[in-house]
Amino acid sequence: MADNDIQASGASYHTLTVRDRLLNGLAHHQLVAVETLLKLLAKPMASLLTWLVIAIALTLPGALWMSIDNLQQLSSSFQSSGRITLYLSETASIQEGQDLSQRVLTLPNVRNTQYISADQALEEFQTSSGLSDALVMLTGNPLPAAILVEPPLGLAQHEIAELLKVLKRYQLVEETQLDLVWLERLQAILVLSERMVMVLGGLLALAILLVVGNTIRLSIAARVDEIQVIKLVGGTDAYIRKPFLYTGIWFGMIGGLMAWLFLIMLWAVLNGPVTQLATLYGTGFGLRPVSATAASTLILSGMVLGWLGAWWSVSRHLHEIEPQA
Amino acid sequence: MSMVQFEQVGKRYASNRDALSNVSFALNKGEMAFLTGHSGAGKSTLLKLMLLMEHPTQGRVLINGHDLSRLRRQAIPYHRRQIGVVFQNHQLLFDRSVHENVALPMQIAGYSTLDYTRRVKAALDSVGLLHLEHCNPIELSGGEQQRVGIARAVVNKPALLLADEPTGNLDPELSAEIMKLFGLFQQAGTTLLIATHDIPLVERMGKRRLILNHGRMTGDIYGR
């Protein structure tokens, strides 16, 4: 490089070794990181809008993802009890029903059976539906007796169909119902929603890039003088870029932290009603809080997007600024 | 070898105005010279060519034997680090102290605070402003700001020092002092080229004088 021989002509020049340069470079990174963060925190109102936009853009897919995650958890707990209900004819006596329940239990691919008499069914319905007052007015019991048949876990679809065929042959069985079709539908809806979250997430990521890029563009415009002087005294593009990149990273990180906070608040607001609803349906389901993995993913993607947005903005505008005299 | 060499250099702006035409001269290492001429004669353009703030439309500029037209864009910052420069409008940053302004070239070159603090103090001392190091440059007078600019230009001990009207804002006494300072830099081995229209001052210094007139070099007078 040209500077070596030219510097040699200067008198007592303290030259830098590679190690010096590395260590000093690291120290400068630290310095710039802290300085840019302090600058942002010193005037929080100035960048609050940007932080909020980033936070909201991260909260939306985060919240959707959280709901899908919870629904998946819910559906998997249903899957384990994907059971068959046999509705018995009205003429069947309690004794006949209980006998049938015992016989079904001896069939292959049946893990457990439970006989529910018409009276039991009505009682259960009264307590869980909240319609007890209306039901009192009925003269008779409209509900049939039923047998719940629970196949073993992980039974293949065709085996379940086979079992259904066998069960339908019993004379006492009026109707069979497999609680699986709606599960499959739920699964399909969940897959679809996951896709939608991905698309939405992509769009919102683009929005974050644009917002950070624009904010950085403004701060570049506010520091044109400084950039000109730095270029004049020999600052490289990397040196000039550094504070802006750190600013972008901090924007993303603060936005991500705020999004996390929003999700925790959302969870706190929704968990009560959801638990209550679940109790009404007779399950002990509660909303899962935002996991540490999800939170760090949120913050990390904020930081990466902030950095990318800043990089995009700086590389677009840096070349336009040249030193003036 | 020459520190600065201009070979039939011409600079024509987009407006078809010739700022410089057919300018040739050389400055030896350790030489001190003045560049004089009326305003608009091309003094600033000539300095800007050496800093690669402008590019010649004709001829070659060589600094320390390196042809500047062959320099890649990425190499420009490293080229500028070898040159200290003082402009009339100081180009100081008002969001930091005098000390931090002077430290900027050292910081950019990758020195640690430990390495450069003493150098910055020494540079400020040489222009007589050490007592103001923690002030913001905006609180300083025009002359003081000018001297901070000079301290920043020399802190890196550049092999070549360029100055554009460095005494433009200064009273005669201070101007003389600055010139004396430049003389000391020359004694330490620095090559200097100083653009000015303060002819009496130049004559008192008795150094080599390059004269520009409407973009042409019309005189090259060696001093005593």
CA distance B106 to B126: 17
CA distance A181 to A186: 9
Question: A249 with A310: CB under 8 angstroms?
Answer: yes
If contacts are CB pairs under 8 Å, which of residues 148-187 in chain B contact chain A?
152, 157-160, 164
**Which of A21, A230, A324 lies at the smallest CB-CB distance from B110?**
A21
CA distance A254 to A302: 8
Strands B58-63 and B32-36: unpaired
Distances, alpha carbon B80 to alpha carbons B71, B77, B192, in Å = 11, 5, 15
Tell me what the mean pLDDT of segment A196-218 comes to.
Answer: 92
Query: Does B188 contact chain A (CB < 8 Å)?
Result: yes
Topology, domain A83-178: Alpha-Beta Plaits (3.30.70)
Side-chain half-sphere exposure of A116, counting CA atoms within 13 A:
15
Query: Does A37 contact chain B (CB < 8 Å)?
Result: no
Distances, alpha carbon A123 to alpha carbons A84, A120, A245, A263, B87, in Å = 21, 5, 66, 40, 95
If contacts are CB pairs under 8 Å, which of residues 221-260 in chain A contact chain B?
225-226, 228-237, 239
pLDDT beyond 60 at A71: yes
If contacts are CB pairs under 8 Å, which of residues 27-56 in chain B contact chain A?
29, 44, 47-48, 51, 53
pLDDT beyond 60 at A10: no
What does the pLDDT look like over A244-289, one tens digit per residue? 999 999 999 999 999 999 999 999 998 888 888 877 766 667 788 8
Query: Does B122 contact chain A (CB < 8 Å)?
Result: no
Whole-structure pTM value: 0.73
pLDDT beyond 70 at A128: no
Residue A137 confidence (pLDDT) = 73
Beta carbons of A25 and B110 less than 8 Å apart: yes
Residue A39 confidence (pLDDT) = 87
Side-chain half-sphere exposure of A56, counting CA atoms within 13 A:
7
Q: Provide, as residue numbers in chain A, all residues whose Cβ is less than 8 Å from the Cβ of B89.
A: 325
Q: Provide, as residue numbers in chain A, all residues whose Cβ is less than 8 Å from the Cβ of B95.
A: 226
CA distance B52 to A183: 71
Q: Which of A6, A12, A318 to mutate to test the interface with B (most CBs of B within 10 A)?
A: A6
Query: So where are chain A's domains?
Result: 23-78+184-319, 83-178
Q: How far is B199 from chain A (nearest CA, A)?
A: 22
Question: Percentage of residues in chain A with pLDDT exceeding 70?
Answer: 86
What's the mean per-residue pLDDT of chain A? 83
Residue A53 confidence (pLDDT) = 92
What does the pLDDT look like over A159-202, one tens digit per residue? 777 888 888 888 888 888 877 666 777 778 888 888 988 999 99
**Which of B66, B91, B189 lies at the smallest CB-CB distance from A2?**
B66
What does the pLDDT look like over A29-49, one tens digit per residue? 888 899 899 988 888 888 898
The amino acid occupying position A206 is L
pLDDT beyond 60 at A140: yes
Residue A4 confidence (pLDDT) = 41
Q: Quote ipTM for the complex.
A: 0.89
Residues of chain B with pLDDT under 50: none
Residue A289 confidence (pLDDT) = 82
Q: Three-state DSSP class for B94?
A: coil
Residue A127 confidence (pLDDT) = 72
What are residue B195's DSSP bridge partners? B35, B164
Residue A13 confidence (pLDDT) = 45
pLDDT beyond 60 at A3: no
Residue A6 confidence (pLDDT) = 38
Residue A240 confidence (pLDDT) = 93
